[in-house]
Amino acid sequence: MHSSPDEYEVWPGSPAPLGAHWDGTGTDFALWSAGAHAVDLCLFDDDGTEHRLRLRENTHQVWHGRLPGVGPGQRYGYRVHGGWDPSSGLRHNPAKLLLDPYARAVDGDQALHPALFGFRYEGGEGPDPRDSAPYVPRGVVVHDSFPWDGDRSPTTPWSDTVIYEVHVKGATIRHPDVPPALRGTYAGLAHPAFIEHLQSLGVTAVELLPVHHFVSEPHLLRRGLSNYWGYNTLGYFAPHAAYSSSGTAGQQVTEFKAMVKSLHAAGIEVVLDVVYNHTAEGDHTGPTLSFKGIDNGGYYRLREGDPSRYQDYTGCGNTLDVRRPQVLALLMDSLRYWVTEMHVDGFRFDLAAALARSMHDVDRLSAFFDVIHQDPVVSRVKLIAEPWDVGPGGYQVGNFPPLWTEWNGQYRDTVRDVWSGARVGVRDLAYRLTGSSDLYRSDGRRPFASVNFVTAHDGFPLADLVTYERKLNEANGEENRDGESHNRNWNCGVEGPTDDPQVTALRARQVRNHLATLLLSTGVPMLTAGDELGRTQGGNNNAYCQDNEISWLDWADVDEDLRAFVARLVRLRRDSPVLRQEAFFEGHELPDTGGTRDLAWFAPGGAQLDTAGWFDTGLQTIGMYLDGRGIRHRDERGRPVQDDSYLVQLHAGAEPVTVHLPGAPWADGYEFVVSTEWTTVAPPRPTVVAPGPIEVPPRCVWLLRVLRRP
């Protein structure tokens, strides 16, 4: 590495591709900025010494240069000269070191200091003159010839997919079987001890909370906290450096790839939760770290009539302006990079409705979706939308176009309502149990467009959903004002932990009820890491800033019966195609069956549910009949798929109820497969019952296999 500015020679280089790219003899640097008057490339020695080099070439708004002899491991950043007029949206300030938006790796932490801010934070006019370089992270030139050795994506079909939403650090930071040096890292997630847990559960994909490099918001740093979840992205190409066990001078890239390769070898796909709707720079009072100082008006949606402020559809201070070609190119370049270079299998888009906004309205045909659909790389991986943002009209469940699946917020709300005792009836529940055809069928999508979930990282974990009715977020330092106050939950009659054995048993059954409902529903189930272990956050339902035992998985306190319950339900789902249909049910009579249907609904009295029953908001008991002879998809060779038939009996009432199990032609008998009254999913002994009256315990789910005489 060069040690003095006299040794550097800047050649013209090339304006494409953007970022820093080493070719074996030197590195090309290229940065887009439409509003810059001049750009300095800043190189840093290992001791922090800075060398500023003016990039004199500007081609189509791209500032570029080539440095012979500069190679992998080189730390760098930019200083951009230009106009300073916040009232016009101009925020150039060469005193601020800026991270390359295309940096492949990031080194160094952000430290809270007034120099982070482009303006005079203590008041006054004009740009702040203090040098931010000592307090901000730098980009790193990376060259990684990773030995993929035939790595292949599992490419699990959507209808076979079971998602496990997990935090890289929280998964293994307390895992006793993961070596201490690897805990909480990409290597920890790839360790056999954790992969074996995933395989034992039967999940087919991990959905990682954000791994794009992120920093903590200044307001958290002032309170001695940090951003744990990671929804505060600074670098869209760089794996988050703090999750690396091997170093941050490019080693994090290799370690991430090794993690993906290990998960693929275990048959597990890797889906990234990505935050392309806003950045870590916040609103007009936020720090200047990258985009804001490179081209503020080029990257962000500024408020009409007052470009000194940002249009905020995200609740995080700013919104990236995907209407602009350069921003759209950044997002697409990033997505393609993670698929082609990092081998990930899909993306979950945080606040995806914000990306769909052409002007103020959410536009299903916005440029972002058009580009995704025609892209030969990105269109072929799993695409999951969080179909809402915080702006007007931002709740868009069911309105994303084909190719997209969605986090089904209506599924979550309905299932929680049912098990919390809300008088909502069974009509909406029936839609949710069978793939939400009311939301996804009209535009040609399939049941797997619905990603079903009861809990996620945001909110109570499942154990807390049945333990607390009031959030306990005081540790976040916001006087318990943050987090959702209406959680559609029930504490089983006692607030918080209790030694009462009846309440404890009821809570455990309610957890099983939620999980059984989820895993017996048509669609794509998503489990939240730790729910299968009995994890609690002590009543905190917004643990985004709790990088501690509140959030981490506690492997010393595992509910083994619950883990076995989840694993057996997932196996049952995997082995039963009737439980993971690829086409919506028709409800039609099946030929040569004596009058059964592919899907039928039964009232407690044994008759098929009538119109009055559908609209009876007090009805808390329903039977869902699934005929395995009516499956409409075929196997890979075009042969009809057949399966056992099942009756799912769901009773959410507080008292036992007598139901009549339907007889011929529906069944000649039934065999218990699942009952949530049992602490494990397996019945204590084989149990066969005849059609006719039978008492269902309070708050219970049964899965009964249909028996037919030969």
- The residues carrying an active-site annotation are 350, 386
Q: How far is CA 699 from CA 64, 418, 565, 702, in A?
A: 66, 10, 17, 10
Q: Which amino acid is at 580?
A: R
Please count the other Cβ atoms lying within 10 Å of the Cβ belonging to residue 259.
26
402 CB contacts (<8 Å, ≥6 apart)? Answer: 443, 444, 445
250 CB contacts (<8 Å, ≥6 apart)? Answer: 72, 73, 104, 105, 140, 141, 142, 143, 144
Question: Whole-angstrom distance between the N-terminal and C-terminal Cα of the chain?
Answer: 80
Is residue 365 within 8 A of residue 407, CB to CB? The reply is: no
Q: How many helices (H) and strands (E) does the chain have?
A: 16, 31
CA angle 552, 314, 484 (to 5 degrees): 50
Q: Which structure tokens are listed for 110?
A: 């952000």
Give the span between the Cα atoms of 33 and 342, in whole angstroms.
27
By CB atoms closer than 10 A (0-12, 13-18, 19+), residue 402 is exposed
Angle between helix axes 501-519 and 560-575 (nearest 10 degrees) is 20
Give the span between the Cα atoms of 328 and 371, in whole angstroms.
9
By CB atoms closer than 10 A (0-12, 13-18, 19+), residue 626 is buried
Give the span between the Cα atoms of 70 and 460, in whole angstroms.
49
3-state class of 537 per DSSP?
coil
CA angle 491, 494, 495 (to 5 degrees): 70
Is residue 489 within 8 A of residue 679, CB to CB? The reply is: no
By CB atoms closer than 10 A (0-12, 13-18, 19+), residue 449 is buried
Whose structure tokens read 């918001």? Answer: 217
Give the span between the Cα atoms of 180 and 176, in whole angstroms.
8
Q: How would you label 67-99 residue by residue, b for 16+ Cβ within 10 Å and e otherwise?
A: beebbbbbbbbbbbebebebeebbbbbbbbbbb
Eight-class DSSP state of 697: P
Reference 349, options 406, 281, 395; nearest CA is 406
DSSP assignment string, 337-402 = HHHHTT---EEEETTHHHHTBSSSSB-TT-HHHHHHHH-TTGGGSEEEE----SSTT---TT-SPT
Whose structure tokens read 């190409």? Answer: 237
264 CB contacts (<8 Å, ≥6 apart)? Answer: 151, 152, 153, 154, 270, 343
Q: Which structure tokens are listed for 231?
A: 């929804």
Give the span between the Cα atoms of 91 and 515, in whole angstroms.
50
Q: Percent helix, strand and coil across the chain, each rounded to 5?
A: 25, 25, 50
Q: How would you label 360-396 residue by residue, b for 16+ Cβ within 10 Å and e otherwise?
A: eebeeebbbbebbeeeeebeebbbbbbbbbebeebbb
Is residue 682 within 8 A of residue 620, CB to CB? The reply is: no
